[in-house]
Amino acid sequence: MNNQPLTADQLLKEPAANYMNDGQQSFFRDLLLEQRRELQERIELEFQALREFQPESDPVDTGSNEEQRQWQLRMLEREKKLLDKIDQALERLAKGDYGWCDETGEPIGLKRLLLRPTATLCVEAKERQEQREKHLSEH
């Protein structure tokens, strides 16, 4: 038994019967923890930039700086939401629910999880959700 961590290529070559086995769970746990660490570093850098913000005396610069500050705040808000999703995914891993669609109970699929490790819906369920949202926004 090889105790080396799986690569994404090896993960995709595994038989379907191996879905969410220990090796795959370990792969996604490591991936999520690495993404979490990188995200926390970015958030800290953004907070640092906001703390170092110096108001300008020129009204044009003030407006431009305020726009930049608002953009940074929106970015921080999105990154905080992603951090929450990563934490929820790590929680699902700990409970053994990771990789299974919240709506159907079917596998989300390795390809989808590699693209979006925080996914909670399989492709079909996500498409239905988007159709419902589109329908509601049109009415």
Can you list the alpha helix ranges (DSSP code H) found in the chain?
A: 8-13, 22-51, 59-95, 110-115, 123-138
Residue 13 clears pLDDT 90, i.e. is over it: yes
pLDDT digits (tens, 9 = 90+) for 79-116: 999 999 999 999 999 999 999 999 999 999 999 999 99
Q: How many Å apart are CA 86 and CA 89, to the nearest integer? A: 5
pTM here? 0.82
Q: Which residues constitute the domain of residue 77? A: 8-98
Residue 119 lies in a domain: no
d(CA 125, CA 131): 10
Asked if the structure places residue 104 within a domain, the reply is no
Looking up residue 38, the CATH number of its domain turns out to be 1.20.120.910
**Range ranked top by mean pLDDT from 12-16, 51-55, 67-71, 117-121:** 117-121
The pLDDT score that the predictor gives to residue 54 is 64
Count of structural domains, the chain = 1
